Amino acid sequence: MSRWCAFLTTADPADQLRAVGAAAVTAAGDHGLGLLDEPGAATGPHRVGRFTAVGEVTLYNRARLRTLLGADAPPADCPDAELLLHCYARLGTAGLAAADGMFALAVADGRDLLLIRDHVGARTLFVARAGGAWAAATSLRALRRWPQLRTGLHLPAVRSFLTFAYLPDRATLLRGVHEVLPGRCVRLRPDGTSTEETFWEPAEADAPGTAAEHALRLRELLEEATVRRLPAGPAGVLLSGGIDSSLVTALATKLHDQRVHTYSIAFDGTTPNELAYSGLVATHCHTDHRVLTVSGDAVAARLAQTVALLDCPVGDPLTVPNLMLARAAADDGLDTILNGEGGDPVFGGPKNLPMLIFELFRDDPAPTARARAYLDSYRKCLDDVPVLLSAGALTELEHAPPLTDVLLPYLQPGRMKTLLNQLLHTNLRTKGAHHILPKVERLTAAAGVQGRSPLFDAAMIDYAFSIPPRFKLAGTEEKWILKESVRDLLPSTIVDRPKSGMRVPVQQWLTGPLRDLSHDLLLGPSARTRDIFRADTLRAWLRGDGTLLPRQGGKVWLVLTLEMWLRAYDVQP
């Protein structure tokens, strides 16, 4: 298991690869391609004509791609990365658009270096330029080790993280390092210039049809997406009991020729859980069901390690439980586990109704007003920034671009005409691409399994944006058409229940097994040296001042996970 890195440099590329801890697979001319000893699926080198590539590539539609290539198709047993390279060599970016899968690829093309990231962002790819050279990798940690990159903390990204609980665009927490956006092919040139070509971006369309016809076509696409992601051997599904993971479970058991394993989590103590619903689905679908009870002590023992696995931090308290579930699946001998991620970004989400209410009562027609309302809907630390960040940090941020700049391209008429589709597109291209999918990939890879998300299937996303909005949000019922498409597969108790997110006992953890660690890290010498946060505000939060207000524990959790990540990557100002 490995990740990859690539260099475009006039210096010795083999030296550059060694400097970041990579084993060179090819180092010729200005190009260096190498593999890193980190959890991943990188292979290479792959050569097709003038192209040489290294990549992390998993394809779900090999047969279709070979048909498109016709007589130019490589041998049937060629690696996925080689097949994708053939598609690009023969068909250009149309060949990338035709691929269904998870991929991040670096391709040496003449004197240039191409970087390719899959449609939705299931695999992550970073790029940086320093000392007259380009560097790219599927590991941010590798770029952190690059001696020529004199990086440090990118403070605007700190503000973004405190607002979104993840980083919603190209920016990372390292100055000078950026993500390649999903659905893009980026060409890097030796003179330092670059160009970006989009090979896939969803757009709103108007598909005629009744609700029943749309539900039928959606069901077909759901089945196709699930079948393509099922492994040859046993399959697992992470089952919460909500509609998204439940429908994936039902489809997997219907379409797979082997018994399906399902995995759910619960927390010790009195926190309400979803076990009754996940158990109902498991019984209904006849799965081998396993419930993992996660204690606060288990979270405390694993939190630092889990945060360090992520290239960019996420303020999601389910990261440790997600990793434990993936390891439980690996212990059961599985190598593939499906999930229900994608239902919210593609068909509906918790921000849609508040945003529609905002539209009814808004008195400011400016596009920035809508973007600001979207920021407010996250209910994280945006309003706390003036009292949370230090005076020095606030001064440095005075000239930073406003956070609304990230959202404006999605929240006004363009590829999406209707407001609901603009909201879904925003969620897909921010939270989907920069939080949900990277978290799934990193945590499952660390456990030695592959996480797959049928609801993020590109063909299904394209179709979803052609379904009339009134079928996705029917009155106040979200995901209506998605529910109708699988109504025959699940008990009505599951299909018709209101959305209920999993309740995580963050406050109990912070006042219990994480109490001393939180104080030591947030008020310790490393945090003081960085001088990002005001110690008096953190002390007040840790004392529990204002705990009658909602989300107090969630705010401390955000700052704690950020501090842990900065320590793991040794990031200084």
Residue 467 annotated in ligand binding: no
**Phi, psi angle pair for 304, to nearest 5°:** -60, -45
Per the omega criterion (within 30 degrees of 0), is the bond before 386 cis? Answer: no
Residue 77 annotated in ligand binding: no
Tokens of 520: 């030591």
Q: Are strands 31-36 and 3-8 parallel, antiparallel or unpaired?
A: antiparallel
Strand partners, 525: none
Question: What whole-number distance in Å separates Cα of residue 164 and Cα of residue 374?
Answer: 10
Strand partners, 174: 153
Question: What whole-number distance in Å separates Cα of residue 426 and Cα of residue 424?
Answer: 5
**Phi, psi angle pair for 164, to nearest 5°:** -100, -20
Instruction: Please compute Rg for the chain using Cα positions.
Output: 23
Residue 383 annotated in ligand binding: no
Cβ burial, residue 15 (10 Å; 0-12/13-18/19+): middle
Which of helix, strand or coil describes residue 209?
Answer: coil
Q: What is the DSSP string of 487-554?
A: GGGS-HHHHSSPP-PPP--HHHHHHTTTHHHHHHHHTSHHHHHHT-B-HHHHHHHHHTTTTTSTTHHH
Q: Any residues with CB less than 8 A from the CB of 198 and at least 6 apart, and which?
A: 183, 184, 185
Question: What whole-number distance in Å separates Cα of residue 354 and Cα of residue 376?
Answer: 10
Residue that the structure tokens 């104080």 belong to: 519
Question: What whole-number distance in Å separates Cα of residue 143 and Cα of residue 129?
Answer: 10
Which of helix, strand or coil describes residue 93?
Answer: helix
> Which candidate, 23, 35, 193, places its Cα nearest to that of 106?
35
State the binding site: 80, 238, 265
State the binding site for L-glutamine: 80
State the binding site for ATP: 238, 265
